[in-house]
Amino acid sequence: MSDKQVTIEGSARHIHVTKEVLEALFGEGFELEVKKYLSQPGEFASNSKVNVLSPNGEIKGVSILGPCRTVTQVELSFTDARILRLTCPVRESGNIKGSAPCTLVGPAGSVELAEGAIIAKRHIHFTPEDAAAFGVEDQQILKVRVGGERGLIFDEVVARVSPKYATFMHIDFDEVNAAALFGDMTGEIIG
């Protein structure tokens, strides 16, 4: 086993919202409640879910992650985008300019997003210490090899370095399934 092993996590479809959008969906003064803390410090899956609509499809019960952010964005897989019949660009989180429109429907109201639906670009969050140990820099593009029955190499993996992060690789469930990553989900950074 190489010393360049990284733990891989599958990222299910989810939504990040601003405080204003949260209140439009759930009512004035509504606060997200923690269902489960995630690997990234301070991040959590909430108990709150909404429906995502397009003119041609709907996905019910999409989880909202907390805490609230400065930009509302819907992170989908390509399978999800096909269900909604949306053309979503592959982007890094937060880069929603020109992305697909959709509507969020909550118990207290709905919000039409002129843009915001993306396919998250595969990435690895690194602490600065781990990035130095792995010999990678922020925004560097990496390759990660996974073994097993359907082993493959993930290309175009963005390194994201911050003291606010914990070191984990994130891919969506289409990618998890393509590589049959069940149980031990690790990969080796090879370039």
Average pLDDT over residues 130-145: 97
Domain ranges of the chain: 5-9+122-189, 12-120
Average pLDDT over residues 66-77: 98
- Phi, psi at residue 87, to the nearest 5°? -100, 100
Strands 57-66 and 5-11 come out as unpaired
pTM: 0.93
Please check whether residue 73 is in contact with residue 115, taking contact to mean a CB–CB distance below 8 angstroms. Answer: no
Residue 169 forms beta bridges with which residues?
8, 124
Average pLDDT over residues 4-23: 97
Class of domain 5-9+122-189: mainly beta
Average pLDDT over residues 130-156: 97
E strand or H helix at 112: strand 110-120
Average pLDDT over residues 69-81: 98
Q: Does pLDDT of 1 surpass 50?
A: no
Average pLDDT over residues 88-115: 97
| Collapsed DSSP state (helix, strand, coil) of residue 128 | helix
- In this predicted structure, what is the pLDDT of residue 58? 98
Q: Does residue 122 or residue 3 have the better pLDDT?
A: 122
Lowest-confidence pick of 1-5, 56-60, 151-155: 1-5
Structure tokens at 30: 């509504």
| Collapsed DSSP state (helix, strand, coil) of residue 1 | coil
Q: Does pLDDT of 70 surpass 50?
A: yes
Q: Does pLDDT of 57 surpass 80?
A: yes
Average pLDDT over residues 14-25: 98
Average pLDDT over residues 26-46: 98
- In this predicted structure, what is the pLDDT of residue 2? 60
